[in-house]
Amino acid sequence: MQQHGVRVTRRYPATRERVFEAIVSPEAIVHWFAPNDEMKVEAEVDASIGGRYTVKMHHMFGNTYTAVGVFQSIEAPERVVFTWSWLEEPMNEIGESRVTIELAEIDGGTQLTLTHDGFPVQDAADRHKEGWNGCLWRLERQFGDSTLASVSEIIALNRRLYNNALDDISAESLSQRPGDAANHMLWLAGHVAHNRATIANLLGSDISSPLEVFNAPLDPDADYPSLESIVEFHAQATHALLNRLPLADVDSLSADSPFPFELPVSRNSVFGAVSFMAQHEAYHVGQMGLLRKILGHEATSYANKERIGA
């Protein structure tokens, strides 16, 4: 059977010893070994030849993904090789693969090259490459904040608040407005979901939004899409956005903003546009929380709760 694989390279402003320790230490792994900031990590690691590891990635909306394997080679601080398998269905159907991480000294730090091979199909390899890009970007933040680190945290918080603001909202409440100058909950939900896709596309995604209607002012007589379809697309846009964040570099973020208007921020660049849109999203998520209380519901919580479309 033909085997498939991927390779990812990153550079870190740290010595090989520091990077190697972050790779094999369970105390460090819990801070980076997940593809995005919506996951919390538990790790058990025996970093010795033949030693086993278990890494559990808990998504804030309920799912857990568990990777397990055995260390086959450890050459500190240059190289580590370990097997890789998933416990949960359907990912466990991929079978066992192998990860090789090599560290090379470069000016200003360390170059990490990760090779993950042994996949039965290239599609599985490509999906793992997305995950590794996120993990290795989060590893970079262990040695200093990356450009979009704070934006990533805001995006994760906004999603949690967005879903929690919609908790137990009735169909009747979706179209209720506290006044003629106010938006209703359905429009706010659609506008935020469309906004999230816009941020993803600013960073190079090509996700097409079916919610363009929410980019215009509220029309009380409009036949808007259902809340279920809006929340489902919000989850899709979030996935696209989280996949693009680790790939942003200084050159792409410094490019001129594609918006046809001057942004109310100090840098009219892609970075400025992303920062502005993240704040714009937070502004409307705050409106959703306020409207929720006006409609007689309990205040929006920061608690991790599983929601429709999560």
> Domain containing 50 — which CATH number?
3.30.530.20
- What is the structure's pLDDT at 304? 66
Among 97, 128, 143, identify where a domain stops: 143
Instruction: Say yes or no: 159 and 134 in one domain.
Output: no
Instruction: Say yes or no: 202 and 81 in one domain.
Output: no
- At 305, is the pLDDT very low, low, confident or very high (cuts 50, 70, 90)? low
Phi, psi of 184 (to 5 degrees): -95, 170
Residue 305 belongs to some domain of the structure: no
Return the higher-pLDDT residue of 243 and 158.
Answer: 158
Instruction: Say yes or no: 119 and 205 in one domain.
Output: no
Instruction: Say yes or no: 159 and 84 in one domain.
Output: no
278 neighbors 157 (Cβ within 8 angstroms): no
Instruction: Say yes or no: 68 and 88 in one domain.
Output: yes
Instruction: Say yes or no: 41 and 169 in one domain.
Output: no
pTM of the model: 0.76
- Owning domain of residue 21: 4-143
- What is the structure's pLDDT at 94? 93
- What is the structure's pLDDT at 309? 38
Residue 304 belongs to some domain of the structure: no
Which residues lie across from 71 on neighbouring strands? Answer: 82
64 neighbors 90 (Cβ within 8 angstroms): no
CB-facing half-sphere around the CA of 88: CA atoms within 13 A: 10
pLDDT at 156 > cutoff 90: no
CB-facing half-sphere around the CA of 64: CA atoms within 13 A: 8
Residue 218 belongs to some domain of the structure: yes
Instruction: Say yes or no: 113 and 236 in one domain.
Output: no
Q: What is the CATH number of the domain that holds 214?
A: 1.20.120.450
Q: How many domains does the chain have?
A: 2
- At 310, is the pLDDT very low, low, confident or very high (cuts 50, 70, 90)? very low
What pLDDT, in 10s, does the model give residues 37-57? 888 999 999 999 999 999 999
